[in-house]
Chain A
Amino acid sequence: MKILVPVKRVVDHNVKVRVKSDGSGVDLDNVKMSINPFDEIAVEEAVRLKEAGSASEVVVVSLGGKGCQETLRTALAVGADRAIHIDAEDGVEPLAVSKCLKQVVSREDPELVIMGKQAIDDDCNQTGQMLSALLGWSQGTFASELKLNGDKATVTREIDGGLETLELAMPAVITCDLRLNEPRYASLPNIMKAKRKPMEQIPVSELGVDITPRIQPVKFAAPAPRSGGMKVADVAELVEKLRSEARVL
C-alpha cells in the first residue's frame, strides 16, 4: 500500500511574525522556515506504518516555490521514499491545493493520504477535508490514533467533548492532530541519504488546475494590544484587585 503525505513549508512555529509596516502583508524576510508541525507528524505516522509493514511506499508532495524542496528533504530524511515538488508560487489557496493534490492522487494511486490538520501560517484547516471531498473518499480529521485493518481504517479523533472513534472505508484521507505521535529527529546519515532520494518536479501548469486566488487579502493588522504587565504583591492584593478594580469576582 502506498501512502501520500502532502507537506507545507511554513514560518517556524517559534517565530513571532510581524505585519509589514504598510499593512500589505506579513514580513517574511529572513524568517526561519520549517515543515508545518502537523505535517511532520503526518510524515512520521506514514513512516511508522511502513516500518510496521502496513505500507510499501511513502511519497511526500509539496506545492510552492523552490524552498519546498528543502521541506521535502526533511521528510525524506525521516524515512519517506521519494518526493514530488509541484512548482508554483507560494500562497496557493487550500481549494486549489486540494485540486492539485487530487491530480497527484490520480497519478500515484495511493490508498491513504495522511496530512496535517492545519497549517500554522494561514490556520485554515481545510485542505484535507477538501481533498477527501474531491476524491469522494472517507475522512478522518484531527486524528490522535490510527489503525489499519485490511480495507478499513480505525481513527480516534480529538473532538470538542473528548474523543471519538470512526471506522473508515479505504481509501481515506486522514488529518493529524498533535498527539498522534512524537516525530523523530533525522539522524545525520539519514539526512545524507535523503539527498540521494528521488525528487520529481512538476510545474503546476502541467496539472491543469486553475489556481487563481478566490480570496483577496485586503489588510493585515496586528491584533489589538493588551495592556498587561501589572504584578501584584500577594494573594490578598490579587483578590482585592479582582473584586474592586476588575470587578470579575
Chain B
Amino acid sequence: MRILVIAEQENGSLVETSLNAINAAQKLAASHGSAAIDVLAAGHNTDALAAECAAVAGVDEVIQVDAPQYAASLAENITTLVVELVRTRDYQAVICASTSVGKNISPRIAALLDVAQVSDVTEIIGVGTYIRPIYAGNIMLTCESAEPVQVLTVRPTAFDKADLGGSATVTRLDAGEDAGLSSLLGRELSKSDRPVLSSAPIVVSGGRGMGSGDNYQRLLEPLADKLGAALGASRAAVDAGFVPNDYQVGQTGKIVAPELYLAVGISGAIQHLAGMSDAKVIVAINKDPDAPIFQVADYGLEGDLNELVPELTECLA
C-alpha cells in the first residue's frame, strides 16, 4: 500500500497540522501491516518545505513540485496535480488534515477520482474503517469504505504529531498546468505572538458575555498572557465583532483539545461544545447557574466575569 499525505504550507514553511496528518498515515500504514508514506510538498520555492517534510520520521519519499501556481494552495491547481500523482504513482490513500486548506481541496480530489471521501476522521481502526463525529460531535459514527483510493481528512487534534528525525528522499516532479480558474488577491491574517489556537495547551475563550471587543481585550488578554494561552471565542463573540473570525471555536470554527480550556461568558451551545469538548480540563465562568457549559465543565465558577476574570489573573501572579 502507498499513502500520499498532502503537506500544507504557509509562506514556504510546513504547517504543524501536517505532522498530525502524517501520524494518521502512519496509523493507517500500521493497520495494514506496512505501507510506504509519501508526502507532497507543492508550492513555490519549496526547497525549505521539502526539507522539512523529509525530516519527518516515517516518511519514505517527498514529492516536491515547485511552480508559482501552487503558491497559494488554490484548490483547482493542487487537485489536478494530486489526481495525476495518484494515477501515475498508484496511491491507495490520500490524506490531509481537516484544516481550511484540507477541507477545501480534498473533496475535489475525491470527486475527480470518483471515490467517496471520509471527512474529519478521529480514529483509524483499519484501512477502510474509521470513526468520525457527525451532528456536531453528538454522535460518533463508525463507517466502512471499500473505495480503491481512500481519501481522508483527519482531525488534527485526534492524532499526535509525527516525530522528527527522518531522512526521506526528495523527488522533484514537473508541475502541472495552471488551470487559470482562480487567483489569490490577498490575505488578511491575524497576527499574534500567542500560541496557535488549534494546538495551544491552554485556551482562553470569550463569548457574548464579554459585552464588547474592548472588554474582551481588557479582561482576557492579561489572563492569556499570564497563562501563555491562545485566545478563542464563541460564534456570538465573532458575529458581534469582538474578535476576528479565526478565533471561532466550534462545529464550524476551530476544533481544539487543549490541556485547559477556559470558557468565559459562553453559554455552551452544542455547536460550541463540538469544538472544545475534547479538552482535558474545562473551566467555565458564567453568571447563569443553569448555563449548559457548567454541565461539561470540570470546574464551574458562577458569577460576574467582570469581577472574576481580573481576580483570577491577579491570583495567577
Chain A interface residues toward B at CB < 8 A: 11, 13, 16-19, 26, 93-95, 98, 117-118, 120-134, 137-142, 144, 154, 157-169, 177-179, 214-223, 226-232, 234-236, 238-239, 241-242, 246, 248-249
Chain B at the A interface: mostly helix, strand, loop or mixed?
mixed
Residues of chain A with a CB closer than 8 A to B116's CB: 93-95, 214-215
0/1 interface trace, chain B 248-275, chain A, CB 8 Å (1 if under): 0001101000011000000000110000
Residues of chain A with a CB closer than 8 A to B202's CB: 248
Stretch at the interface among B37-45, B49-57, B87-95, B293-301: B293-301
CB pair A160–B246 under 8 Å, yes or no, is: yes
Closest 3 CB pairs of A and B: A130-B111, A129-B107, A138-B181
A157 to B271, CA, bound (A): 21
Residues of chain B with a CB closer than 8 A to A132's CB: 75, 108
CB pair A123–B245 under 8 Å, yes or no, is: no
Give which listed residue, A16, A154, A163, A232, contacts B300 with CB less than 8 A: A232
A140 to B10, CA, bound (A): 19
Give which listed residue, B147, B184, B189, B198, contacts A165 with CB less than 8 A: B184
Residues of chain A with a CB closer than 8 A to B1's CB: none
A216 to B118, CA, bound (A): 11
Stretch at the interface among B62-70, B130-138, B161-169, B212-220: B130-138
For residue B105, which residue of chain A has the nearest CB? Answer: A129
Residues of chain A with a CB closer than 8 A to B315's CB: 235-236, 239
Q: List 18 A-B contacts (CB under 8 A).
A: A11-B135, A26-B135, A123-B134, A124-B117, A125-B103, A132-B108, A133-B111, A139-B75, A144-B245, A159-B187, A162-B187, A163-B187, A165-B184, A169-B181, A216-B143, A216-B145, A221-B142, A232-B300
Write the nearest CB–CB distance from A51 to chain B, whole angstroms: 23
Write the nearest CB–CB distance from B113 to chain A, whole angstroms: 10
For residue A169, which residue of chain B has the nearest CB? Answer: B181
CB pair A123–B146 under 8 Å, yes or no, is: no
A239 to B245, CA, bound (A): 30
CB pair B139–A154 under 8 Å, yes or no, is: no
CB pair B147–A214 under 8 Å, yes or no, is: yes
CB pair A160–B119 under 8 Å, yes or no, is: no
Q: Do A130 and B182 contact each other (CB < 8 Å), given the known contacts A158-B100, A221-B140?
A: no
A168 to B179, CA, bound (A): 11
For residue B138, which residue of chain A has the nearest CB? Answer: A17
Give which listed residue, A95, A133, A138, A164, contacts B184 with CB less than 8 A: A164
B176 at the interface (CB under 8 A from A): no
Q: Do A220 and B141 contact each other (CB < 8 Å), given the known contacts A159-B101, A162-B189?
A: yes
B157 at the interface (CB under 8 A from A): no
A164 to B76, CA, bound (A): 16
Residues of chain A with a CB closer than 8 A to B183's CB: 166-167
0/1 interface trace, chain B 266-288, chain A, CB 8 Å (1 if under): 00001100000100111100000
